[in-house]
Structures are given as C-alpha cells and as structure tokens.
Amino acid sequence: MADPVSRQTANTAMARQLQQTIWALWVTGLAVIGLAVATTSSALAAGGAIGGLAVMVLGIRLRQQLRALHDVNEHEVSQVRREADSKMQQTRQEHLELRTAIDEHAVIAIIDNRGCISQVNANFCRISGHREDEVIGQSFRIISGRVFERLAWRKIRRQLSDGKVWRGEVENLTSHGQPYWIDTTIVPFADAEGQSYQFVAIGTDITQRKKAQLETREKEALFRTLAEIAPAGIFRMDPDQTLTYVNQQFEQISGCDPTTVLGNPWTELVHPKDQTLVEFAWNRAVSSNQLFAFEFRFQHADETEVWVTCHSRAETDDSGNVLGYVGTVSDISERRHAAEELRASVREKDTLLREIHHRVKNNLQIISSLLYFQAKKLPDPATSEVFQELRHRLSSMILVHEKLYQSEHLDHIDFVEYCRELIDTLRLQMTAQGEQLVVTLNATALHLPIEIALPGGMMLVELLTNVQKYAFPHGTAGSAEVDIATDGDIVCIIVSDPGIGLPPDFDMTTSSSFGWQLIRSLVDQLGGQVTVDSQRGTRVTIVFPYSSANTPEIPAHHPSYAAINSATAAIAKPVTR
C-alpha cells in the first residue's frame, strides 16, 4: 500500500505541471495574435488591403483556436483535480482502516529522541492501566521493567541510532506495579540529516503466553526433580517412540548410557527374545489408546538380564493428537526369582501331597481288602455284615484320596463326580454280595474342599447302606434317589427311597445305631442340620454351609443355622415327591 502523503504530493505536482503548460500555451497565443495585428497594420499601411484582411482573419481564427484550447485544458485540469481528490479520500480511508486494525491488535507508543513518550494508542492504555495524560511527556521508564535494566537502554539506543530495528520481549509494569509482557519491535525515524527524531514501538501482548511458559518450566523442573528421586525408572519419548529423557534410575535398571540411548528407539534395550511380544503388546495398547502394561527383560551390554514391569501412556493435546509417551519401569528381577522358587517349591509340595494321597489310598485299600478276606472266613453272617459296612465306609475315604491324587487342584474336588463314582463303587460291592440297588443321582456341578467333601461322602454311604439294608426286605431289588442342590453358600443333600420307611417310634437324635451316630457327628462337624421324613418311604435331608467363612467343627448353635433353616425348604421343594 502506497504512503498517502506521497500519493497526495504526486497528484498535486501533476496538476501544477498541467496548469503551467496551459499558461504557456495561452501566452504564446497572445504573442501570435499581437504579431498578426502588427503585420496586418503594416500591410494596410502599405496599401495591400486584401493581404491585410487575410492576415487579420488568420489572427482571429488563431485566437478562437487558442480560446478553445484554453477551455479544453481547464476541463482536463478540473478532471485531474477531481480524480486526485477522490484518490486522496480513498487513501485517507484506507489509512484510517489500517490504523484502526493495528490499534485493535497492537500496543503502540511513540518516543521522541529524549526518551519521552509523545503518543500512545488506546490498547496501550488498556493493558498498562495508565491514562494517556499520565504518560504523555513522561520518560518511557515509567512503564519499563527488568528487561531494560538488563539490556541497558543505551545499548538499544545505539542500535536504533544506527538505523537498525530492535526486536525483543519486554517486561513492563502496569500502573499497579504488575508485570506484563510485550513482544516489541522499535523502528527509528530519521530526519533529512540522518538524525533520529522519534522511535515507534509496536508490540503484541504475550503475558498469557509468558505465564504458560513459566508454568511449563516450573512443571518441567518439578517433574525432573521428582523423576530423579523416584525409586522407579522414568522415561519420555516422542511420537516416533524415540527416547528424549531418562532418569538415573532408568539408566541403572536398563544398563544404558544416556549419551547413546537418547535419540534411539526404546525397544533397542529390550531382550531380543522378548522384542516381538513387547512390540505386539505396545502396538495393541497404542492403537486402542490403552495403558501399556507388560513384563519383559532388559539386556545389558554384558548380556545381563533384568526383568522389569513397564507402564506407559500417550501424552496428548486438547485435540487428542499424540505429543509423545511417558512411562515407568521397575526392576522385578528379585520378585520373578522368588516367584520361580515358590513355583518350584509348590511343584515339589504338589508332588509330595499327591504321593501322600496315593499312599493313603493304597493303605486304605489294603485295609479294605483285609476286611473283605476276613469277612469271608467268618462263620457268623452278622459279624461278616459288620465287616462289609466297614468296607463301605472305607470306600468313601479311598475314593476321596484317589480323586485328590488325580485332580489338578489339591484343595478341592468335583463333589458331584465324587458322589457318582462313590455310588458306582457301592453298587459293585452290593452286586458282589448278591444285592441290587438302583440309585439315581440328580445334581449340578459343585466343587468342595476335602474337609467338606469327605464327610459328605461318608454320610451318603451311610444313608445308601441303610436303604440297601432296611428299605427293601425279603431280598427285593430296591431303588433310591440322591439330589444335590445349592442355594448361595448352602448345600443340600437329599437321599430318598420308596421303601417301607422307618419304624413309627424312630428318633434320629436318640438312635443308638452307629450309622446314625456317625451321621449326626458329621453333620455337627459341618455346622449343618439333618431332618428325617418317613411318611411315604424315607426321606433324609442334610443341609450345611460350605463358604470359606465356615470351617469344620462349627458348633450346632452357629448363626448359619438361621440361613440353613430358611434355605432348606427352598432347596428341597423342587425334589418333593
């Protein structure tokens, strides 16, 4: 955009030049007319009437042409003046708009060669808090802060005096003494002799940016302080996963040299055998914007392996663009070694426990076999039957130890499968004795610890043995149904048969039968309850808790009885016949 003053000066000069040209032509025309008149007079005096008349006519026509030329020139001058005025008005409007735009954005102050403020704009007053009449004529030091103290005004003045523009960030003070920052450009203006007579300072308020930079530096300093005293290794990476910062703990854990590791991908520190898994886990976490958490090995320069757990997350801006990554690594080598030793110890103990269960099962099997052979030698059938009952009770113990020996878990077994195999074993033993009992099992999956499963299996054996002995007399084939259900932490075992039932005067609590005494003892051990219904056949219901909060040998008055009482009906109802 051209300078408005320069454009006005050019238009004025052009108008003056045109006017001078018109006056020169006018004067020349008058001279010619005078010459024509003089010539005409001489011709007439000489008696040449016709020639004199011709010259006179020529002069008149020349004067008319000059007048026409004068009128044209006056019109052109007027047109040029109107165009110049229009352009001048347009230039002034553009100048005003430009100044308004600058005033809205920039802080402007004009300083004379004495260092005094001669003019400021509204933005200057708004930001500084000073009124215009307070600063006009005052030294610029009324607003200057520490920047001019450090850089020295004389040094800046020397640069400006050499006709050079000065640029810098200036810290000024408001009327209340509060600092504010201006990104300033100072332009010197010189007179015809080259002497600076004023300086125009124009700048942009960058106070918020400076505050943000200060906060960033403070946070960065705090981060580095915390990073250096943190017990974990801390690292930062750019979006390309190139290391830009590591603390001392990271150097010790990874065994890296910071002078060589910075600027390189962090995966170069990972053990070669773990790199594929680490890169896969990293890419999956980054693509889903999730926390990267993984355990792997660092390999030192001396090929020493260090197990670490690493956690890392992306740093993003307000728009979600990834600025980099920050993370931590912790040395877990001792924990890994301890865990490996523990696993080895567990494997040894697991093998030992399995061997114990196997030996116990074998010993019980030997005892069962001895009872079998001894029973065959006894002449008294009643005594032989006692030996057979003992063998039945041993079957539940033998099967439990066999299940534990075969199970992957030594702390619990599949109770339903255990009961199913226990029923099959009893049926085989009864068949060998010439007796038949068809047992139907209805149950859902249930796992119980050995201290609960073993008493449950023994009670089931006692109840089925009673069914086989007393429910179906005269050697008739019998049947029984076993239902196992759960309600929360409550287990319900129901053994029912359609046999002849129990005697009318039967009382389970006072029965001297060894089998019923054993059942009562086992129920008390589990903290449960047992009920007997002999209206249609016989129906025995055993309910007990099995949660981890309940351990063996719970007394009969344990609070869990309230839950047992309320759950018994709900569990038993679906299997009522």
Give the model confidence (pLDDT) of 377-418 as tens digits: 777 777 776 777 677 666 766 666 666 556 666 567 788 888
Q: Is 144 left (phi over 0), alpha (psi -120 to 50) or beta?
A: beta
According to DSSP, residue 500 is labeled: S
Rounded Cα–Cα distance for residues 329 and 25 (Å):
98
Task: Give the confidence band of 17 by pLDDT, cuts at 50, 70, 90.
Answer: low
Which residues are 246's β-sheet partners?
Answer: 235
According to DSSP, residue 457 is labeled: H
Percent of the chain residues past pLDDT 70, beyond the cut: 72
Mean pLDDT along residues 545-559: 46
Find out whether 482 and 494 touch, Cβ atoms under 8 Å: yes
Least confident of 114-118, 135-139, 164-168, 554-558: 554-558
> 162-188 as b/e, with b when 16 or more CB fall inside 10 Å?
eeeebeeebbbbeeeeeebbbbbebeb
Give residue 407's identity as a one-letter amino acid code. S
- Given a cut of 60, whether residue 51 has pLDDT beyond it is no
Rounded Cα–Cα distance for residues 150 and 161 (Å):
19
Mean pLDDT along residues 505-525: 85
- Given a cut of 80, whether residue 102 has pLDDT beyond it is no
Find out whether 479 and 497 touch, Cβ atoms under 8 Å: yes
Which residues are 298's β-sheet partners?
Answer: 270, 306
User: What contacts 169, CB < 8 A, 6 or more positions away?
Assistant: 147, 181, 182, 183, 184, 206, 210
Instruction: Output the pLDDT for position 548.
Output: 41
Least confident of 72-76, 88-92, 105-109, 165-169: 72-76
pLDDT digits (tens, 9 = 90+) for 288-324: 889 999 999 998 888 888 999 999 999 888 888 899 9
- In the block, tokens 């600027």 appear at 263
Least confident of 76-80, 242-246, 327-331, 456-460: 76-80
Please name which of 286, 287, 291, 331 lies closest in space to residue 311, comparing C-alpha atoms.
291
pLDDT digits (tens, 9 = 90+) for 341-352: 887 777 666 666
- In the block, tokens 């290391």 appear at 243
- Given a cut of 60, whether residue 157 has pLDDT beyond it is yes
Exposure of 208 by Cβ count < 10 A (0-12 exposed, 13-18 middle, 19+ buried)? exposed
Rounded Cα–Cα distance for residues 162 and 324 (Å):
46
Instruction: Output the pLDDT for position 404.
Output: 56
Instruction: Output the pLDDT for position 420.
Output: 87
Task: Give the confidence band of 72 by pLDDT, cuts at 50, 70, 90.
Answer: low
Alpha helices, H only, 288-332: none
Instruction: Output the pLDDT for position 281.
Output: 92
Rounded Cα–Cα distance for residues 391 and 396 (Å):
9
* E-assigned strand segments in 372-477: 412-414, 437-443, 447-449
Top pLDDT among 268 and 75 is at 268
Instruction: Output the pLDDT for position 557.
Output: 40
pLDDT digits (tens, 9 = 90+) for 184-223: 899 998 888 888 888 898 888 988 988 888 888 888 888 7
Rounded Cα–Cα distance for residues 122 and 449 (Å):
86
SS (H, E, C) 201-225: EEEEECHHHHHHHHHHHHHHHHHHH
User: What contacts 271, CB < 8 A, 6 or more positions away?
Assistant: 296, 297, 298, 299, 305
Mean pLDDT along residues 48-67: 59
How many angstroms separate the most distant Cα atoms in the chain?
201
Find out whether 257 and 310 touch, Cβ atoms under 8 Å: no
Averaged pLDDT of the chain = 77
Top pLDDT among 432 and 520 is at 520
According to DSSP, residue 521 is labeled: H
According to DSSP, residue 448 is labeled: E
Percent of the chain residues past pLDDT 90, beyond the cut: 13
Residue 224: count of CB within 10 angstroms of its CB: 13
Mean pLDDT along residues 9-33: 53
Least confident of 9-18, 257-266, 386-395: 9-18
- Given a cut of 60, whether residue 149 has pLDDT beyond it is no
- Given a cut of 80, whether residue 81 has pLDDT beyond it is no
